[in-house]
Structure 1
């Protein structure tokens, strides 16, 4: 009987995902780094390098966001690096408050996506995986020193995604594992269901493509109001904002991981924004809010009686994606505000405090 090398490779990849070192040798995957011996890391300065300039770090943000004249707390005695991947319609500038709230020993960098923020003149990516590859190429240059034989071998780093940024985050994490043998100290998934869970129903996806005004009347009333402006079609900034949201929502829907696609070996911390579920519990909704709820119950994948983007159970489903503990944290905030909530900041700080110690990763 002939050997099926495709089956052998698939089996080896599955065993590698489970931590099998013999499978690592078979596939030629890089060795993991030795445990971190401790110490401090130099501040990231990503703006001066063309390969990394789209991942501005603490030390870069004042210059990167210079027109806004924002106050940025610089890093000091860096012990861990944290990389942020934001969600739909967002930008690096919107994360400055988090940068200033986490301790100075966390060197935080934010991936700016094509067509967003300071890259607004660039065309949007056609696929979410293109954004992920763009981010990975930058992080590869930064994190090579954390890999086997690097100057900071085994030094801890973590990844944080918000909403569709979670999908970018896990793609980057997978590429770092395959290319550099690196595993994050922790993954933070802020307000998104598990990677195999679609955001929209078939009806929601159809409305997004064919009747976007009705779609956004429920999913994002602010974008709907932009669409209703008399000058919406003539105003280039308004059109760019509308197109950005339409594109981001489409990319998120069209990119899903099948169950078992990859298994992480790090702690998972999932944040569930509790105010997402308010419309399903409040009585005496206004006519406008009743309409919002009715549309969202049709377009989201959380069930006909739930108007939240994701069902409560979809957050718990992250547990199947790692061999290590997965904790779901309920925070009293809505979807956009949860990223800056004091309890989110405390969660990040507490987790990274533990992970920054030698031999704890």
Structure 2
């Protein structure tokens, strides 16, 4: 095998996800602490200009206020979860960031202002789209990841590619409202039900979405399809060892996810029947002392994030008070914890 053949073999192995010891990637990032130019925005990485008019009116400069000065030394790259969008408060998080942090969010095809595009149906296709959105930002400055729900799974895969293809690493990874990646969301039978008959699945799993489907015509049908398409990807658990971060991690769960239990002896017969049927879907809806867990991922599943970093600080696990699965990203308890943690990172630059 000559050198050309060796290079070709290395490239094949890297593309397949293998970490090849002799493969050297030049890191193009400036020294940490350097003030970075603002990120280039796009369809995949939107800014306020792409928001609906009503949402714009609450944000500068569209609300008449000056745009706050921003001299970032760190980029916080966010990946939203199922059926979410930039307009659904991620833009608020971006606006509230401290001056030395710039926040940007990858918007999925078919979501938000990309609603004319087809939904992507596999996690790897979404990761490809996300990597393309973040590539320049990762390659040219210090960055952290914030993955919400299925975005936590995507953050792992984007980071693995960033190491292999760009030679760069995040300085912090925040996993928001998802148990560790090795845990699927549904039972096998529940996931199959979602694939085969999403309408009846959501009648049990998320009655609010089912009611919207029944009452809102095309909008309701599209919303249910979005939820079904996205949530089946939350079943794509990733085995421990697939990738290990070199940075510290922060895993945050919402109180109203962790502390949600139904007391069977206090439930009506209808609620009791519904919750027991739902328990056949959710992987963690286990009965305990006449109660059934009714949340997203229970607290104990977050402990597994410790296995996803080799940094001495490990993964800190925090419960966010007064938050639910969707509103946690702008919950003041969470944002206070987030900005405090990022300050600790940037102070160490």
Q: Counterpart in 1 of 2:132?
A: 137
> For the structure 1 residues 35 and 105, does the alpha-carbon distance in structure 2 shift closer, same or farther, using more than 3 Å as the test?
closer
Distance (whole Å) between structure 1 residues aligned to residue 261 and residue 32 of structure 2: 50
- Which of residues 214, 235, 258 in structure 1 aligns to 2:239? 258
Written as runs of structure 1 = structure 2, the 5 A alignment for 1:174-185 is: 174-185=160-171
RMSD after superposition: 2.7
CA contact (8 A) 2:30 2:140 kept: no
- Residue aligned with 1:320, SS: helix
CA contact (8 A) 2:247 2:309 kept: yes
- How far apart are 1:31 and its partner, in Å? 4.6
Q: Counterpart in 2 of 1:328?
A: 317
> For the structure 1 residues 200 and 340, does the alpha-carbon distance in structure 2 shift closer, same or farther, using more than 3 Å as the test?
same
Q: Which moved more, 1:275-284 or 1:186-195?
A: 275-284
CA contact (8 A) 2:29 2:140 kept: no
> What count of residue pairs does the alignment treat as equivalent?
320
| TM-score with structure 2 setting the length | 0.83
Residue 297 (1) aligns with residue 297 (2): no
CA contact (8 A) 2:93 2:103 kept: no
Distance (whole Å) between structure 2 residues aligned to residue 34 and residue 286 of structure 1: 59
- How far apart are 1:246 and its partner, in Å? 1.0
Q: Counterpart in 2 of 1:244?
A: 226
Report Cα offsets for 1:136-173 as digits up to 9, x if no partner.
01211233223xxxxxxxxx211101111111121111
CA contact (8 A) 1:91 1:117 kept: yes
- How far apart are 1:276 and its partner, in Å? 1.6
Residue 55 (1) aligns with residue 45 (2): yes
| TM-score with structure 1 setting the length | 0.80
Report Cα offsets for 1:196-251 as digits up to 9, x if no partner.
1100001211221234334223432211112332xx5xx22222111111111122
- Unaligned regions of 5+ residues in structure 2, if any? 1-5, 61-66, 288-292
Q: Counterpart in 1 of 2:105?
A: 110
Distance (whole Å) between structure 2 residues aligned to residue 116 and residue 329 of structure 1: 29
Residue 204 (1) aligns with residue 190 (2): yes
Written as runs of structure 1 = structure 2, the 5 A alignment for 1:204-243 is: 204-229=190-215, 235-243=217-225
Q: Which moved more, 1:160-169 or 1:203-212?
A: 203-212
- Residue aligned with 2:279, SS: helix
CA contact (8 A) 2:214 2:220 kept: no
Residue 347 (1) aligns with residue 337 (2): yes
- How far apart are 1:274 and its partner, in Å? 1.9
CA contact (8 A) 2:76 2:103 kept: yes
> For the structure 1 residues 70 and 129, does the alpha-carbon distance in structure 2 shift closer, same or farther, using more than 3 Å as the test?
farther
Report Cα offsets for 1:324-358 as digits up to 9, x if no partner.
2101101122211212111110111011112223x
> For the structure 1 residues 213 and 138, does the alpha-carbon distance in structure 2 shift closer, same or farther, using more than 3 Å as the test?
closer
Q: Which moved more, 1:85-94 or 1:167-176?
A: 167-176
Report Cα offsets for 1:70-104 as digits up to 9, x if no partner.
43354512221111100111101011222233323
CA contact (8 A) 1:187 1:269 kept: yes
Distance (whole Å) between structure 2 residues aligned to residue 291 and residue 90 of structure 1: 30
